[in-house]
Structures are given as C-alpha cells and as structure tokens.
C-alpha cells in the first residue's frame, strides 16, 4: 500500500510538511471526475482552485491514516468537524476517490481545495503561500508564484487621487501607493492607522481618507492623521465610507455610522438588523456600504436591506429613514454595495442573491450563469461607457452592458475568482483587487482588442510589474 507522499520543503517553501494525494473516478459531490490533487498542511492550509485558478485559506488540517488494506485522509474544513474521507482505490497506485462526505453541502464547495495540475505543490501559513512545480522524477522543485511578490495576498480597495496616484488598500499590509514609477507601502510603522483597509475616498481638497480596522486615517500629501473612538468615532472597525457634496465624511463601522465635518464626529442612527453568523465578522449595526445619489440622498447597505436618508430636505435635519428590503422586492436583505448609474437607477450587490437594480418602481435582477447556485457579490462599479462591473465569488467578474452580462474568468487571464473591488483609472484601465492581489484590464485598442500578455484580457500586476 502506497502512503501519501510527503514533500519536505526547500528553502523557499513556507511550511514544514505538505501532504499530497490525488483522486479520480466518480464522486457524490459533483467535483470533476478526472484526476485531481488534494493539498493539505498542518495546522493551516492554503489551497488553489484550478478551475478558477484562485486561492483559499482553509481553517483546518490534513491528517492521514493508513492500514494494511486502505489509506484514508480527512480534511477538517470547519469547526463542527465536517470532512471529506478519501480512499486509495487503485491498488496503491496513488489514485484516490471520495468515499464519504460528512455534513458537507454543495454550497460549501465554494471553498474547493482540489486542483488539476502536473506535480504542483502549494504550501502556506498565515496568509503567505507559494506555488511550486516538481519535475517528473521528483528530484527538483521550481517556484512558480510566491505571495511575497504580490502587491498583497489580498487587495480590498483601489482608488486614484487627484494627482493620479493609485492607492491599493490591502488585508494586512496597510496601503500601497503607485505614482507611475515607484510602489511605496504605508502601515502602522509609517504612521498609517491600521493594516486592513476596507474603504478609500478623496475630498475636494485632495486629501485621501482611509477606513481601517483601527479607525479613520487622513493623508494630506505629507503626513497621516488618525482618528479613533477616542475622538468620537462610533467604532474603530471601519467597513465603508462616502464623502457627500457638502464635504461631510460618512463612516460606516461595525457599530453604526458617524458623520465627520473635519472637526467633530456626530453619531447617525440606523435601525439594528439581525447579525448574519455566516458572514464571519458581523453585528446588528454593521454598515457595508454608503452612497450619495444625485439628489443628495444617502444610501446605506446593511444586513436589514438598504436605508435611505434624505438630507436635502429644508432645515438641514433631513427626513425620516426609508427602508428597502425583501418585502419591497429586493432579492436579499444582506446588501454589500450600492451604486447609482448614469441613468439614475440604483444598483444593489447582495451577499446571497446576486445583483439587481431599482428604477424607482421595481427591481430587475441581472441573470448570470451562477444565478441558481448562490451568488455572493461584494462590489459594483460603473465605467465611463456605462457598463456595470461586479464580481461573483468563485466565478470571476461580470460586465453588464445593458443587454447581457459578459463573464471574465481564468480563460481570460484572471487568475483569481475571489475578486472584491473594481476600479477604472483616468486612462480607462479597469483594475481588480482581491485574493492573489492586483489585476489590470487595459483600455480598448483601435482593433477592438484588449491588450494583455499572452493575448489575455487580464494580467496580474505584482510588485515588479508589469505596470501598464
């Protein structure tokens, strides 16, 4: 009986032991039937989904048990003990098949940990990973991709300031600024407020504002100023932000909304909603998105649908809050982002039911290939041509042109399916941020083709380029 192979890491590898098995044959979960490989490590594992070519961090561990007749392996995906049980099904040849799935549903498989590949090895720990390829003889390993070369393992926000600098908000590395020549990082050691950036906005004076896990940060071109609960902010954990036409900064936090006029923070009350335990970080007052429409109304995306505040009413006090939820036709109450398009339609990105828009009377849902299998959407963006862009977790990004939604995925050069933010710069380039860092989609050429290495639509941008 052949044991699962154990690869001892070389100098560039980030973990001490990696267990690799492969499996083939039909299985009860709908996973591919041809040869696939399964990666695990102790105590945490990163995994690559070959079909979307994206990475996932798995809070679990790989264990293997052997006997005289069979060898088994389990990957504990969740704290409740869910697992997949694998069996060597081809006389010790290393071909494995799934023999048991414990409490795992098809919906859970968005956290796929299988990938096709020729002798590919993936190891990782605490957000860092490395993808390597072993030759057929097993005597040499060549590094293919190292997370240390990425802008960041996860880019959450992208913004361009008045003078053309591109800012990238990351999950763990603070913020990075690219001025056309140099990429520079700012984190707590440089006076920046935090390491996780979930919101970026610019004011009329050219200041850039950041929402982090430690509060609100202002950059005036020379220095950072940080604001926290001690200064009156509702909560340090900032999730969303918008600057209205009067220059008031609206900050959505884990515990509600604050307004900031540059001197004083003022609380702004929103009704509580039921926390969603399936979303990880959550609360009854979390605000995922804030948007000002063309009429001066403020929109808030929450776990209880969307709320509208008409601050344009006489007296400066605004009117009562209006709620839009499933009772009004919104497909899902868990609203991650809100956008007003050039025609005045209001778009909603929801956590469980995809994307829809509201024309003031009724809702229209945008159909996608994944419509019936669950569609987790984190953001919305309208480009200069009026196309609406949005990512769907595990399924790349879509571009809706008013008639159809075009999907971009691995075949188009987009190596990650876990995209969280979309942005268009002043040159018309589309930027995507998410797991595996930063991607770019260049402006249309005279031939109507989008440029990119290898003829692909998208290309990855690392610390070393290529910068468009």
Strands 175-178 and 166-170: antiparallel
Residue at a domain's end among 116, 146, 176? 146
Q: How far apart (Å, rounded) are the C-alpha atoms in residues 3 and 9?
A: 18
Q: Is 467 domain-assigned?
A: no
Answer yes or no: do 293 and 368 share one domain: yes
Answer yes or no: do 378 and 287 share one domain: yes
CB atoms within 10 A of CB 381: 23
Q: Is 410 domain-assigned?
A: yes
> For the chain, what is the domain count?
2
Answer yes or no: do 135 and 167 share one domain: no
Q: How far apart (Å, rounded) are the C-alpha atoms in residues 388 and 356?
A: 11
Answer yes or no: do 328 and 373 share one domain: yes
pLDDT in tens, the chain (468 residues): 332 222 212 222 222 222 233 332 222 223 233 222 333 332 333 333 333 333 333 333 333 333 233 333 333 333 333 333 333 334 333 433 333 333 333 233 222 233 333 344 444 333 444 444 445 454 454 554 555 688 998 999 999 999 999 999 999 999 999 999 999 999 999 999 999 999 999 999 999 999 999 999 999 999 999 999 999 999 999 999 999 999 999 999 999 999 999 999 999 999 999 988 888 788 999 999 999 999 999 999 999 999 999 976 554 455 689 999 999 999 999 999 999 999 999 999 999 999 999 999 999 999 887 654 568 999 999 999 999 999 998 888 999 999 889 999 877 888 787 899 999 999 999 999 998 899 998 754 444 445 455 556 888 899 988 998
Decide if 68 contacts 1 (C-beta within 8 A): yes
Q: Is 27 domain-assigned?
A: yes
Residue at a domain's end among 114, 146, 178? 146
CB atoms within 10 A of CB 78: 14
Answer yes or no: do 178 and 220 share one domain: yes
Tell me which residue range forms the domain holding 196. Answer: 149-461
Angle at 79 between CA 77 and CA 82, to 5 degrees: 50
On the 0-12 / 13-18 / 19+ scale of CB atoms within 10 A, 220 is exposed
Answer yes or no: do 194 and 136 share one domain: no
Answer yes or no: do 334 and 403 share one domain: yes
CB atoms within 10 A of CB 364: 13
Answer yes or no: do 125 and 174 share one domain: no
Q: Is 427 domain-assigned?
A: yes
All residues at 6 or more sequence positions from 277 whose CB lies less than 8 Å from its CB, including other chains = none
| pLDDT score for 452 | 56
Answer yes or no: do 134 and 51 share one domain: yes
Q: Is 273 domain-assigned?
A: yes
Answer yes or no: do 187 and 272 share one domain: yes
- Comparing CA positions, the residue from 37, 58, 36 lying closest to residue 47 is 58
Q: Is 426 domain-assigned?
A: yes
Answer yes or no: do 226 and 313 share one domain: yes
Q: Report the CATH number at residue 319.
A: 2.130.10.10
User: What is the length of the chain?
Assistant: 468
User: Any idea which residue has 């398009």 for tokens?
Assistant: 341
Decide if 46 contacts 129 (C-beta within 8 A): yes
pTM for the model: 0.72
- Comparing CA positions, the residue from 395, 420, 418, 425 lying closest to residue 408 is 395
Q: How far apart (Å, rounded) are the C-alpha atoms in residues 241 and 39?
A: 39
Q: How far is CA 397 from the centre of its chain?
A: 11
| pLDDT score for 31 | 29
Q: Is 466 domain-assigned?
A: no
Q: Is 468 domain-assigned?
A: no
Answer yes or no: do 116 and 156 share one domain: no
Residue at a domain's end among 146, 173, 192? 146
């Amino acid at each position: 009986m052949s044991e699962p192979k154990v690869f001892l890491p070389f100098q560039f590898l980030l973990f001490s032991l990696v267990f690799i098995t492969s499996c083939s044959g039909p299985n009860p979960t709908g996973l591919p039937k041809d040869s696939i490989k399964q990666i695990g490590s102790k105590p945490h594992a990163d995994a690559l989904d070959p079909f979307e070519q994206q990475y996932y961090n798995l809070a679990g561990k790989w264990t293997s048990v052997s006997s005289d007749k069979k060898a088994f392996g389990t990957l504990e995906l969740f704290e409740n003990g869910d697992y997949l049980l694998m069996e060597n099904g081809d006389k010790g040849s290393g071909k494995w098949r799934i023999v048991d799935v414990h409490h795992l549903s098809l919906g859970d498989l968005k956290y796929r940990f299988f990938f096709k590949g020729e002798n590919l090895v993936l190891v990782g720990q605490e957000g860092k990973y490395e993808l390597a390829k072993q030759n057929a003889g097993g005597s040499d390993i060549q590094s293919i991709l190292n997370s240390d070369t990425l802008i960041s393992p996860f880019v959450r926000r992208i913004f361009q300031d008045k003078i053309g600098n591109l800012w990238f908000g990351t999950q763990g590395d603070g913020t990075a600024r690219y001025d056309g020549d140099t990429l520079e990082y700012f984190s707590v050691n440089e006076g920046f407020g935090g390491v996780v950036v979930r919101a970026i906005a610019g004011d009329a004076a050219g200041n850039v504002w950041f929402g982090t896990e430690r509060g609100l940060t202002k950059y005036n071109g020379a220095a950072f100023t940080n604001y926290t609960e001690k200064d009156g902010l509702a909560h340090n954990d900032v999730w969303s932000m918008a600057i209205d036409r009067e220059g008031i900064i609206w900050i959505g936090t884990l515990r509600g909304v604050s307004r900031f006029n540059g001197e004083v923070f003022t609380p702004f009350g929103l009704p509580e909603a039921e926390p969603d335990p399936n979303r990880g970080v959550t609360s009854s007052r979390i605000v995922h998105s804030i948007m000002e429409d063309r009429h001066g109304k403020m929109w808030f995306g929450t776990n209880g649908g969307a709320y509208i505040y008409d601050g344009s009413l006489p007296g400066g006090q605004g009117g009562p809050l209006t709620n839009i939820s499933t009772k009004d036709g919104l497909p899902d109450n868990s609203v991650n982002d809100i956008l007003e398009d050039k025609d005045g339609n209001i778009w909603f990105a929801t956590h469980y039911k995809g994307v829809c828009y509201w024309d003031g009377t009724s809702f229209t849902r945008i159909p996608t290939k994944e419509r019936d299998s669950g569609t987790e959407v984190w953001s919305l963006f309208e480009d200069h041509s009026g196309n609406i862009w949005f990512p769907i977790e595990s399924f790349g990004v879509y571009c809706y042109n008013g008639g159809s939604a075009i999907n971009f995925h691995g075949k188009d050069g987009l190596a990650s399916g876990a995209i969280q933010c979309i942005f268009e710069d002043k040159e018309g380039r589309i930027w995507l941020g998410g797991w595996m860092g930063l991607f770019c989609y260049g402006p249309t050429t005279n031939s109507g083709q989008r440029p990119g290495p290898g003829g692909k639509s998208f290309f990855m941008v690392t610390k070393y380029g290529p910068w468009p």
